[in-house]
A and B are shown apart, each in its own frame.
Chain A
Amino acid sequence: MTIKEKADQLVEEFAMFDDWMDKYNYLIEMGNTLDVYDEKNKVEENLIAGCQSRVWLYAEKKDDKVVFSADSDAVITKGIIYLLIRVFSGHTPEEIINADMDFVDQIGLKEHLSPTRSNGLVSMMKQVKMYAVAYQNK
């Protein structure tokens, strides 16, 4: 599946929920299915700045694809990271760099995109792109 197809699929999944509570319950559930994050990567350099909760994001290159792993000490944030990883992990740097990131807004989690210092979602998305750029030349 392309990044766009994965993003569209997510938007569809969330569209099933009218109630914000169900949406958040689903988000939390998904966050709990994140692969276990390697403790050795829970270091300062992998922390995303601008988050009220702590978020670690790690990327490695496997063949020509970028694979992401992440963790957070806040459950909702974990859910959001899960969304990002599900959509972007396992793609080439070029695909990630050129990808659109509006699906979070389309899912209806816009408040997590606000420019206040409360959430690092924007920082996370930037970091995903930065990793892709870094791996582009490797």
Chain B
Amino acid sequence: MMDINKIREQFTILDQEVNNRKLVYFDNGATTQKPIQVIDSIVKYYSEINSNVHRGVHHLSQLATDAYENTRKRVRSFINAPTTKGIVFTKGTTDSINIVASSFAKAFLNKGDEVIVSELEHHSNIVPWQLACEQYGAVLKVLPISDDGSMQVEQLENIISPNTKIIAVAHVSNALGVINPVKKIIDIAHKRNIPVLVDGAQAIPHQKVDVTDLDCDFYCFSAHKMYGPTGVGVLYGKEKWLEQMPPYQGGGEMIESVSFTKTTYNELPYKFEAGTPNIAGVVAFEKAIDFMEGLGVDNILNHEKELLHYATEKLLAIDGIKIYGTAKNKAAVISFLHSSIHQYDLGTIIDKMGVAIRTGTHCAQPVMDHYGISGTMRASFAVYNTKEEIDAFINAINVAINMLG
């Protein structure tokens, strides 16, 4: 049994007041807070071992490089990838997806080809594909969702065609919290030799991710959504694809040799890591992995399931509240609206009471369009959240409804 209070002690940022109310931070889907060991790691890095990586022969550069590469090994093990060659450090999920969309498209996308995304994708898993399709004259097709937020996987076979080159789907919907049957989608796609990219940004903090078991071709996620620093992300790719994809950015580090007659590229994963990376961020990222593995990802999941269940029940008991994303399999994310009060009003008032949620389209306008709404309120939980906080949240909602109704 996890001691949540002890866990909270590692997150000093949570111990503050907003407008004389205890902060209730329920915007973890946007970014999570960092435990002290992650923060200390950044300070330690700059105080003790800062140096550029892969470039020097001196002592500090060796320490920095070791620390950087050590995180890569930890990530490989964390998601059960086959080798570190397929683990590319990026700036975040958006960067990872852009790399694949741009590079994969350059290698494989031709006029008349098709790319499939789902209706519930975050803009970061839509726009890069739109850009690629535009550039190469390809067509973007959309896998629809049902009203409960689940993907209509049975439609996939109809949407796939001989021209489909890649499918890109979210593991967990950031707007609705629905966990998608990505393994099933990957099976269907692979029967037709179509690769699948999975946007794992919202999945990685909430469940064990095993890319070998999923057999996905690409898996993308961000450190900052799993208790790590911002500016660090991972692109996992099967070597066979990454080898065939041209570089995304050119520059130092990603080359083997450079001359004005010919330049050759470095091996994986460095081919996709041009320039000086966010070394401190990557080094500190390891501590975030330590944090999650130390608690046990399953324990985190179980605690969050309780929070989700508790909050859902309490919300549904309030008159006028409707929850979006009612599929059975959900991560700890609740999107909801009040029938007559605008989410901007509600969000503003509960912020005054110290409760931080997100309101709006959550960078998923197509999802909002599906329901014909302008946006929702979203509460997204992390391991350090408690039932007491949910009580404060529910109280704030009721106060706001009284004021605004």
Contacts and interface: CB of A to CB of B under 8 A. Distances in A.
* A and B: bona fide binding partners: yes
B344 A76 contact: yes
Bin the interface of chain B by size: 10 to 19
B403 A24 contact: yes
A52 B403 contact: no
B12 to A, nearest CB: 24
Contacts of A52: 343-344, 359-360, 374-375
B345 interface: yes
Q: Closest 10 CB pairs between A and B? A: A74-B342, A74-B344, A53-B344, A52-B344, A76-B345, A75-B345, A74-B345, A20-B352, A52-B360, A53-B342
A24 B352 contact: yes
A137 B351 CA distance: 43
Interface in B365-405: 374-375, 403-404
Contacts of B5: none
Contacts of A24: 348-349, 352, 403
A17 to B, nearest CB: 13
Interface residues of A, number: 17
Contacts of B352: 20-21, 24
Nearest to A120: B344
B4 interface: no
B348 to A, nearest CB: 5
Q: Most chain-A Cβ atoms within 10 A of its Cβ — which of B19, B344, B349, B360? A: B344
Contacts, number: 46
B7 interface: no
A117 B345 contact: no
Interface of B: 19, 341-345, 348-349, 351-352, 359-360, 374-375, 403-404
Contacts of B342: 53, 73-75, 77
B273 to A, nearest CB: 31
Contacts of B374: 52-54, 73
Interface string A103-138: 000000001000001110000000000000000000
Nearest to B342: A74
6 contacts: A53-B345, A53-B374, A74-B344, A75-B341, A118-B344, A119-B344
B175 to A, nearest CB: 14
Contacts of A119: 344
A46 interface: no
